[in-house]
């Protein structure tokens, strides 16, 4: 399965639900979707990774890039619901201390 | 020596997915568990992506990369062979996971993951070809392997001595990078009902606050279940750290593992 991104504009937060596989062939699409929100001044972003079965470092790279960008504008990129495997990879890269990670989408959205 | 399965792909990012699927199937049939299969998939993805991006500079569509999988005793071996210019990824400096956001560089994480996810990684240049070998150790079901593999491996051997008691032997540095692995081992043991945790600390050379935090949380959980965490064999430097934070009052600390085990058999 390839990757699917479902984007929803909420009151304060731009929510992206990602489904499938994020790797070097499609990570830039995910980055571009988040960039578009940031371009429109929507810098409070939640990335729901609940549907992500696999993510390589290409996906992490885009997440870190967008996090840096939105933080410069006073925003944040927060992660919801990563699988055990994806969470392990975030921890290995030390990203669990850089991203705010929430067990559920509701908590991540509500954190803003 | 097990049968060798082989797949060749064109050196294009679009083909990496097929190689991942191929490796996942081979890894599954070798008896690796789901987590280890994921590690193999990610290591191969990162390695192939590196070869295509850096080895061939995205111009390898007419070149092929061969992926070989084989199982040899308790080792699942993946070999990647390509004819791009000589490049030994293992010579490159790995990024630091403790690096704060502002100074994080985007690149270099591929090889970092390869080393952390696999147990052995080696590179050879042979007859004008690069040969990268990735090995994952196959752990029989029921045994626990807490280490991540690679050169930064922190194996925490676990020995079950009674139905409710285990000896865990962490080693090396327990810092923010390695403590989560100890945490996982401790949590898993507690969930399985091993409420008597004997930590043989002989091989632990350093403990950071993240490691201390994990010990306390395991101690609390063990106490809640009427068990305990018993530490033994602490190196003088670790004793110093424990005294500084008052942990010497909290934990039962024994000079040797034998003394710890004997203390429990007296009370329990």
ipTM of the complex: 0.93
**B146 has a pLDDT exceeding 50:** no
Strand partners, B206: B173
**Which whole number is the average pLDDT over A63-86?**
95
- For chain A, which residues make up each domain, given as ranges? 4-110
Structural domains present in chain B: 4-137 (3.30.565.10), 158-267 (3.30.750.24)
Report pLDDT digits (tens) over B213-231.
Answer: 899 999 999 999 999 999 9
Query: What is the pTM (predicted TM-score) of this model?
Result: 0.68
- CB within 8 Å of B6: residues ≥ 6 apart: B66, B67, B68, B69
Q: What per-residue confidence (pLDDT) applies to B209? A: 81
Q: Do A56 and B14 touch (CB under 8 A)?
A: no
Q: What per-residue confidence (pLDDT) applies to B231? A: 96
B200 touches chain A (CB under 8 A): no
Query: The domain at A4-110 falls in which architecture?
Result: 2-Layer Sandwich (3.30)
Quote the minimal CA–CA distance from B265 to chain A in Å.
Answer: 37
**B142 has a pLDDT exceeding 60:** no
Q: Do B96 and A94 touch (CB under 8 A)?
A: yes
| Of the partner residues A24, A54, A61, the one whose CB lies closest to the CB of residue B106 | A61
Q: What per-residue confidence (pLDDT) applies to B141? A: 58
From the DSSP assignment, how many helices (H) and strands (E) are in chain A?
4, 5
Whole-angstrom distance, CA of residue B47 vs CA of residue B134: 10
Q: Do A85 and B106 touch (CB under 8 A)?
A: no
**B108 has a pLDDT exceeding 90:** no
Alpha helices (runs of H) in chain B, residue ranges in sequence order: 16-29, 34-50, 109-117, 179-191, 209-224, 236-244, 247-250, 257-267
| Of the partner residues A65, A93, A98, the one whose CB lies closest to the CB of residue B109 | A93
């Amino acid at each position: 399965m390839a990757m699917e991104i479902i984007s929803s504009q909420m009151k304060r937060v731009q929510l992206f639900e990602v489904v499938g596989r994020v790797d070097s062939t499609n990570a830039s699409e995910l980055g571009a979707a988040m960039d578009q929100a940031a371009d429109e001044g929507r810098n409070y972003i939640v990335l729901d990774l609940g549907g992500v079965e696999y993510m390589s470092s290409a996906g992490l790279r885009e997440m870190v890039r967008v996090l840096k960008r939105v933080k410069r504008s006073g925003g944040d990129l927060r992660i919801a619901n990563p699988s055990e495997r994806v969470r392990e990879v975030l921890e290995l890269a030390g990203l669990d201390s850089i991203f705010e990670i929430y067990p559920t989408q509701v908590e991540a959205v509500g954190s803003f | 020596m097990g049968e060798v399965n082989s797949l060749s792909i064109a050196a294009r990012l679009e083909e990496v997915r097929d190689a991942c699927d191929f490796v996942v199937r081979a890894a599954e049939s070798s008896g690796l568990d789901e987590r280890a299969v994921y590690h193999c998939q990610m290591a191969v993805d990162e390695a192939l992506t590196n070869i295509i991006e850096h080895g061939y500079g995205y111009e390898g569509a007419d070149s092929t990369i061969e992926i070989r999988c084989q199982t040899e005793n308790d080792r699942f071996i993946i070999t990647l062979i390509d004819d791009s210019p000589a490049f030994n990824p293992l010579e490159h400096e790995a990024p630091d996971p403790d690096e704060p956001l502002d100074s994080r560089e985007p690149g270099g994480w591929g090889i970092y993951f390869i080393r952390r996810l696999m147990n052995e990684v080696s590179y050879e240049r042979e007859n004008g070809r690069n040969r990268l070998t990735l090995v994952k150790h196959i752990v029989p079901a029921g045994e626990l392997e807490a280490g991540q593999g690679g050169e930064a491996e922190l194996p925490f051997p676990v020995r079950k001595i009674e139905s409710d008691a285990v000896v865990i032997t962490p080693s090396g540095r327990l810092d923010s990078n390695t403590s989560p692995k100890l945490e996982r081992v401790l949590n898993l043991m507690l969930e399985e009902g091993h409420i008597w945790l004997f930590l043989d600390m002989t091989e632990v050379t350093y403990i950071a606050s993240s490691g201390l935090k994990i010990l306390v949380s395991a101690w609390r959980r063990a106490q809640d279940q009427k068990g305990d965490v018993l530490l033994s064999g602490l190196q003088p430097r670790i004793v110093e750290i424990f005294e500084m934070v008052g942990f010497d009052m909290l934990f039962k600390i024994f000079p040797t593992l034998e003394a710890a085990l004997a203390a429990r058999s007296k009370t329990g």
